[in-house]
């Protein structure tokens, strides 16, 4: 399979149009580095079936590819019984009920929701596309006036930004999904509607009771998450700027600055940042993007995103493969030509190291590689932490992350610029370096007489032990 060298990674969301194995392979060939499967849109059995399908494909193709299972969390959703879709029109009055037994036009199954809603509160559906205003509550019925109409589908997300509904993470549905998936070595679970770092800790505790190597990505999509952003970044394994909900929970106008702030916060902790939603939205209908969307992809890269996440474009859009190809081409163009602009837009400031040895190694290997024009930085990594730290600096040269851990190999595929390479476990560090370099050579990333900067650690294979840098000439 042709290897694409886009350094900003591409993640796509699975959906009914792209579930067939041949289509998944085509998406990967087009440039996808990771696949998100939504726990909100798939029943458990189907979700597990898709996880297994993607695992089989990545094993057959022998490629690094991360699987992200998105947990629904405390997000409210529309429930329709009997119908799959209803149409609502401006100024029409409709009834929402909070329990299935109560007659209504649509349901939001959250116990006693009516007690939290007051006249005038906006109820926003499908990332704010449909807008209702609460008129009054009658028992368990909520009467609303349609302010902006359209079609409402079963499962559409609901935001009620004026309320602060209590809810514990992981929810019952989250726990069921995690339990159904634990045997399949999921690379990342995405935690929706995070409001505090405490929720990440609770989620970590629950997930770790089954599998300590699964990563946790915090979806930043509420105002409250922004108040606890540093701690959330510190305690998770990466973040997603979930612009669909975020725009509704804050405001559209705030998004550009929030996106930059969140990416910056994640980077400070050496964690990958993913930008999601409506990146190439018009390609749901057209085989080409709008100018503004091309600029959005470029700006997300320049903001420092590690990966870009396509949601509805691939899940339910008409041109999923073309969308991925378009995204890849824009990324490649920006990355290949960004150095023509004098002020280096991608490069980041050199971090204070304090007494963090692995941070010092990452920073120094970047500086040495830039100084000597190295072909690659090869990090021998167990958890992937050194590779992520090197990636932070956005070096011009390749970042090759050799690891004996299969999970790390797949997890690193969402990290900017990192090429994950699986290699056997070698406990003698003097042997590990030549084997890692030889593997990189065999795969065609480096050739004889190239200079590479290698990082490794003693004892080998143990997380957090990187303590060695070597400038090495490939034999
Ligand atoms: N697997 C799927 N099956 C059917 N529709 C889907 C699927 N995945 C996504 N969609 C559709 O695409 C839209 C956008 O996708 P996205 O994954 O952002 O959904 P979402 O419900 O907003 O997710 P989240 O709750 O995680 O924010 C959804 O509103 C839904 O209509
Ligand atoms: C991806 C997602 O959940 C959002 O943008 O809201």
pLDDT at position 467: 79
Establish whether residue 17 lines the binding site of ligand 1, counting it when its CB lies within 6 angstroms of any ligand atom. no
Ligand 2 atom closest to the CA of 13, numbered from 1: 1
Separation of alpha carbons 144 and 113, rounded Å: 14
Q: Is the Cβ atom of 75 under 6 angstroms away from ligand 1?
A: yes
- The residue contributing the CA closest to ligand 1 atom 22 is 157
pLDDT tens, position by position, 342-398: 666 677 877 777 777 888 899 999 999 999 999 999 999 889 999 999 999 999 999
Task: Tell me if 36 CB under 6 Å of ligand 2.
Answer: no
Average pLDDT over residues 31-41: 96
Indicate if 182 and 296 belong to the same structural domain: yes
Nearest CA to 414 out of 300, 275, 280 is that of 275
Other C-beta atoms closer than 10 Å to the C-beta of 365 total 27
Three-class DSSP category at 467: strand
Per-residue pLDDT band for 166 (boundaries 50, 70, 90) equals confident
The answer to whether residue 203 sits within a structural domain is yes
**Residue 157 CB–ligand 1 contact under 6 Å:** yes
Residues 149 and 228 in one domain: no
Q: Evaluate: CB of 311 within 6 angstroms of ligand 1.
A: yes
Q: Is residue 346 part of a domain?
A: no
| Sequence-separated (6 or more) residues with CB below 8 Å from residue 130 | 88, 124, 146, 148, 149, 150, 152, 156
Residue 276 Cβ < 6 Å to ligand 2 = yes
pLDDT of residue 461: 60
- CB within 8 Å of 300: residues ≥ 6 apart: 8, 259, 275, 279, 308
100-128: average pLDDT: 92
* Number of other CB atoms surrounding residue 441 within 10 Å: 16
Task: Enter the ipTM.
Answer: 0.88
Ligand 2 proximity of 313 Cβ (cutoff 6 Å)? no
Q: Is 311 in the pocket of ligand 2 (CB under 6 A)?
A: yes
Task: Give the per-residue pLDDT at 312.
Answer: 96
Do residues 281 and 362 share a domain?
no
Q: Is the peptide bond before 265 cis (omega within 30 degrees of 0)?
A: no
Q: Let me know: does 455 contact 468? Beta carbons within 8 Å.
A: yes
Domain boundary among 139, 159, 179: 159
Q: Does the pLDDT of residue 335 top 80, yes or no?
A: yes
Helices in 254-356 by DSSP H: which ranges?
255-268, 291-303, 312-315, 320-337
Does residue 139 sit within a domain? Answer: yes
Under the banding of pLDDT at 50, 70 and 90, the label for residue 451 is very high
Total domains in the fold of the chain: 3
Centre of ligand 2 from the C-alpha of residue 156, in Å = 12
Residue nearest to atom 15 of ligand 1 (CA): 312
Q: Can you give the CATH number for the domain in which 415 is found?
A: 3.40.1380.20
Give the distance (Å) from ligand 2 centre to CA of residue 242. Answer: 4
Rounded CA separation 91/68 (Å)? 40
**Angle subtended at Cα 366 by Cα 437 and Cα 63, rounded to the nearest 5 degrees:** 45
Q: Given a cut of 90, is residue 464 above it in pLDDT? A: no
Are 414 and 267 in a shared domain? no
Cβ(222) – ligand 1 distance below 6 Å? no
Give the per-residue SS3 of 67-83.
Answer: EEEEECCCCEECECCCC
CA-CA distance, 201 to 191, in Å (whole number)?
A: 11
Report the distance separating Cα 382 and Cα 474, nearest Å: 23
Other C-beta atoms within 10 Å of 342: how many? 6
Please indicate, yes or no, whether residues 326 and 419 belong to a single structural domain of this protein.
Answer: no
pLDDT at 191: 97
For the Cβ of 192 lying below 6 angstroms from any atom of ligand 1, the answer is yes
Assigned domain for 329 exists: yes
- The Cα–Cα gap between 306 and 415 comes to 5
Residues 6+ apart with CB under 8 A from 368: 374, 453, 469, 471
Closest CA to 14 of 334, 317, 282, 223: 317
Among 288, 312, 339, residue at a domain's last position: 339
* 164 part of a folded domain: no
What CATH number corresponds to the domain at position 49? Answer: 3.20.20.60
Shared-domain flag, residues 146 and 203: no
Using an 8 Å Cβ cutoff, are 159 and 186 in contact? no
- How far apart are alpha carbons 235 and 148 in whole angstroms? 39
Q: Is 15 in the pocket of ligand 1 (CB under 6 A)?
A: yes
- The residue segments making up the domain with residue 406 are 357-473
328, 6 Cβ separation under 8 angstroms: yes
Residue 463 has pLDDT above 90, yes or no: no
Cα 418 to ligand 2 centroid, rounded to whole Å? 25
Whether residue 135 sits in one domain with residue 175: no
User: Which ligand gives the minimal distance to the CA of 40?
Assistant: 1
Ligand 1 and 315: CB distance under 6 A: yes
Protein residue whose Cα sits closest to atom 1 of ligand 2: 242
* Ligand minimally distant from the alpha carbon of residue 13: 1
Q: pLDDT value at position 458?
A: 67
211 shares a domain with 99: no
Ligand lying nearest the CA atom of residue 277: 2
For residue 79 the two structure tokens come to 């429930």
Give the single-character DSSP code of 62: T
What are the DSSP calls for 437-458, one per residue?
Answer: HHHHHHTTS--TT-EEEEEEES
13 in any annotated domain: yes
Same domain membership, residue 123 and residue 205: no
Task: Determine, yes or no, domain membership for 345.
Answer: no
State whether the beta carbon of 13 lies less than 6 angstroms from ligand 1.
yes
Query: Is residue 347 included in any domain, yes or no?
Result: no
**What confidence tier does 132 reach under pLDDT thresholds 50, 70, 90?**
very high
Same domain (yes/no): 279, 233? yes
Q: By C-alpha distance, which of 120, 127, 126 is closest to 144?
A: 120
Closest ligand 2 atom to residue 219 Cα is 3
Give the span between the Cα atoms of 242 and 261, in whole angstroms: 13
Domain stop point among 159, 180, 209: 159
Q: How many CB atoms lie within 10 A of CB 435?
A: 15
Q: Which ligand is nearest to the CA of 242?
A: 2
DSSP state string for 281-300? GGGGT-SS--HHHHHHHHHH
Atom of ligand 1 nearest to the CA of 156: 29
In this predicted structure, the answer to whether residue 442 has a pLDDT above a threshold of 90 is yes
What pLDDT was estimated at residue 221?
95
Residue range 166-177: average pLDDT?
Answer: 93
Say yes or no: 428 and 321 in one domain. Answer: no
The whole-angstrom separation of Cα 253 and Cα 248 is 10
- What pLDDT was estimated at residue 457? 75
CATH code of 131's domain: 2.40.33.10
Same domain, 66 and 108: no
Minimum mean pLDDT among 154-168, 182-196, 285-299, 408-422: which range? 154-168
Point out the ligand 1 atom lying closest to the alpha carbon of residue 276. Answer: 18
């Amino acid at each position: 399979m042709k290897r694409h060298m886009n350094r900003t990674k591409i993640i796509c969301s699975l959906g009914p149009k792209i579930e067939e194995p041949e289509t998944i392979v085509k998406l990967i060939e087009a440039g996808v580095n990771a696949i998100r499967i939504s726990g909100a849109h798939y029943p458990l059995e189907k979700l597990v079936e898709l996880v297994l399908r993607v695992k089989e494909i990545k094993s057959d193709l022998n490629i690094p590819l991360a699987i992200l299972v998105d947990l629904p969390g405390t997000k409210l959703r529309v429930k329709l019984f009997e119908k799959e879709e209803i149409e609502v029109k401006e100024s029409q009055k409709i009834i929402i009920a909070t329990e299935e037994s109560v007659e209504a036009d649509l349901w939001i199954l959250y116990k006693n929701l009516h007690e939290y809603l007051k006249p005038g509160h906006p109820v926003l559906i499908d990332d704010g596309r449909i807008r209702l205003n609460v008129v009054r509550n009658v028992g368990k019925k909520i009467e609303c006036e349609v302010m902006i109409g359209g079609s409402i589908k079963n499962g559409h997300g609901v935001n009620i930004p004026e309320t602060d509904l209590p809810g514990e993470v992981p929810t019952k549905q989250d726990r069921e999904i995690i339990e159904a998936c634990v045997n399949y070595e999921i690379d990342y679970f995405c935690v929706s509607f995070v409001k505090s770092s405490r929720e990440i800790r609770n989620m970590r505790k629950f997930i770790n009771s089954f599998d300590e190597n699964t990563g946790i990505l915090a979806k930043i999509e509420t105002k409250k998450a922004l108040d606890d952003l540093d701690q959330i970044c510190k305690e998770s394994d990466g973040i997603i700027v979930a612009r669909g909900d975020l725009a509704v929970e804050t405001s559209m106008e705030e998004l550009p600055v929030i996106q930059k702030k969140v990416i910056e916060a994640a980077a400070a902790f050496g964690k990958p940042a993913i930008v999601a939603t409506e990146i190439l939205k018009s390609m749901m209908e057209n085989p080409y993007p709008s100018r503004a969307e091309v600029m959005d992809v470029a700006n997300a890269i320049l903001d420092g995103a590690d990966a870009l996440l396509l949601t509805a474009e691939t899940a339910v859009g008409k041109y999923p493969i073309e969308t991925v190809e378009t995204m890849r081409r824009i990324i490649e163009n920006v990355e290949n030509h960004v150095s023509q602009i004098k002020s280096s837009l991608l490069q980041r400031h050199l971090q204070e190291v304090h007494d963090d040895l692995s941070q010092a190694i990452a920073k120094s290997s970047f500086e040495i590689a830039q100084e000597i024009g190295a072909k690659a930085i090869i990090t021998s990594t167990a958890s992937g932490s050194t590779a992520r730290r090197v990636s932070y600096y956005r070096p011009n040269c390749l970042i090759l992350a050799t690891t004996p851990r299969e999970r790390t190999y797949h997890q690193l595929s969402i990290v900017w610029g990192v090429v994950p390479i699986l290699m056997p476990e070698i406990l003698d560090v003097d042997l590990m370096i030549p084997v890692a370099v030889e593997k990189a050579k065999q795969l065609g990333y480096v050739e004889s007489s190239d200079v590479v900067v290698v990082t490794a650690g003693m004892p080998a294979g143990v997380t957090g032990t990187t303590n060695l840098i070597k400038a090495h000439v490939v034999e």
